Amino acid sequence: MSLGKKEQLYGWGHTPVAECISFRPEKRRDLQALLGEHEGALLARGLGRSYGDASLQPEGTILTPRLDHFIDFDATTGIARAQTGVSLAAIMELCVPKGWLPPVIPGTRHVTLGGALASNVHGKNHFKTGEFAEHVLSIRLMLASGETVECSPTEHTDLFWATAGGMGMTGIIEEVTFQLRPITSSSLKTLTYRVDKIADMIAAFEHYRHDCDYMVGWIDHTAKGGENIGRGVFEAAYDISSADGGAPLSPYALPKTKITIPFFAPPWLLNRYVMSVYNARRFKRYSVERVSEIVGFNGFFHPLDSIGQWNRLYGKRGFFQYECLLPEVPGVADHLQALLEGIHKNGLFSFLAVLKYHRAGKGFLTFSKAGYSLALDFPNTARVRNFLPHLNEWVVERGGRVYLAKDTSLTPEIFDAMYPEAAHWRDLLRDIDPHNRFSSLMSKRLQWKER
């Protein structure tokens, strides 16, 4: 294994930035050599699409994208086995032409299998298919001792569920075997319309949840006034066959990046006024009448992937993507309304606000309960940094939680309140990693292995 390289690394939000010793293994024996020879702490990292400090370890960050080989894919059953560094993009290129689609698709295709499991990603169909780990059949995990363990939902069960959503703390995910889902075209039929308040958005989710395959709500958070806060666009999507107008499975190719942002934009480029104009135009594009369209996978799942390095639009100081989930209880629409209004009252706004519906998840650190997640983009300013801890307290008081792959502001106490099953998870970490070989800036901040 070659010597590590010192370089600045950061999450997709570009905050924080850390100087890390990085390694780029190409073979399994490189991982074993690292565990045997490297004296500092280690952490596996995929393509760096988590937003905060979850994928940063200054003492030793293992970049896994070169461990990117498919081991097996059965086009009859839809079962695939691949190394940890295989990306969702590569999976789609291989499997879609053969009639299979990843069962869970997050907001970017630039995520590795190992990263998808470590963050236990979710998508616009969580209400129907759950999180990524629910479709994983088994994993091969390298522990701190150097031992390799095969674990699954039925074998070494605690270790499997500790790894799912465990943010890399249990070891290095070497391989993942997972089940894809069958498709008959590379398109979806969408039904899109405008809603004027958050209660109408929740009513749309409730109406379509038993009927469609995907749902998402976009909220115009720059809109002012009590009645306008929460207005937005609701979209439901359905699988469609090629016989009904869907694009054929083959040929299928991921689109090339249309444009790449070459440098960090000046901080004044994205501001409240620019985003207000953009959001108002997007809102007015739709009416209360349902509009039906046939759209390709790329446009529906990953519209932002068409812009390379789009995070640079937020400037060098970066941004916070904050995603919280509020349980499905009577009055959840009022809670969401109050959350959005509270942000306005503090003189803040979100560049982006996206709502999804979830069913209950599985595992020690599952993000999901039956309820609604709201993803928000905030500029990295002192006012936002001061506000987020108060928002965390507000969320936990209502039985909610924050998605760890997008967290930068939780404290150990708030984390414990949001994730009560983490106590057993930490006990397991002490058993399999007594010398804290695997850690991150996030784990230090939340004191996962120090308590």
Is residue 276 a part of any domain in this protein? yes
Regions in the chain scoring below 50 on pLDDT: none
Is residue 54 a part of any domain in this protein? no
For residues 232 and 200, give the distance between their C-alpha atoms in angstroms, rounded to a whole number.
9
For residues 14 and 389, give the distance between their C-alpha atoms in angstroms, rounded to a whole number.
19
For residues 375 and 356, give the distance between their C-alpha atoms in angstroms, rounded to a whole number.
9
Is residue 256 a part of any domain in this protein? yes
pLDDT in the model for residue 419:
98
Provide the 10 A C-beta neighbour count for residue 322: 27
Whole-number Cα distances in Å, 363 to 43, 59, 166, 357, 446: 21, 29, 9, 18, 19
Contact 446, 415 (CB under 8 A): yes
Is residue 291 a part of any domain in this protein? yes
Is residue 321 a part of any domain in this protein? yes
pLDDT in the model for residue 273:
77
The boundaries of the domain holding residue 381 are 187-408
pLDDT in the model for residue 225:
66
- What is the rounded radius of gyration, in angstroms, for the C-alpha atoms of the chain? 21
Domain count, the chain: 1
Q: How far apart are the first and last CA of the chain?
A: 33
Is residue 422 a part of any domain in this protein? no
Angle between helices 332-345 and 382-397 (to 10 degrees): 160
Question: Which burial class, exposed, middle or buried, applies to 237 when counting CB atoms under 10 A from its CB (0-12, 13-18, 19+)?
Answer: buried
- Bridge partners of 432, per DSSP, are none
- Reduced to 3 states (helix: H, G, I; strand: E, B; else coil), residue 100 is strand
pLDDT in the model for residue 276:
80
**The tokens 């309304």 sit on which residue?**
337
pLDDT in the model for residue 270:
81
Amino acid (one-letter) located at 325:
L
**The tokens 């070494």 sit on which residue?**
156
For residue range 228-266, what is the model confidence (pLDDT) as tens digits?
A: 788 999 999 999 999 999 999 988 888 888 799 999 999
For residues 157 and 215, give the distance between their C-alpha atoms in angstroms, rounded to a whole number.
31
**The tokens 């936002």 sit on which residue?**
384
Q: In this structure, what DSSP letter does residue 145 have? A: T
CA angle 66, 67, 69 (to 5 degrees): 110
Is residue 158 a part of any domain in this protein? no
Tokens of 368: 């999901």
- Bridge partners of 294, per DSSP, are 189
CATH of the domain at 296: 3.40.462.10
Angle between helices 198-208 and 332-345 (to 10 degrees): 140
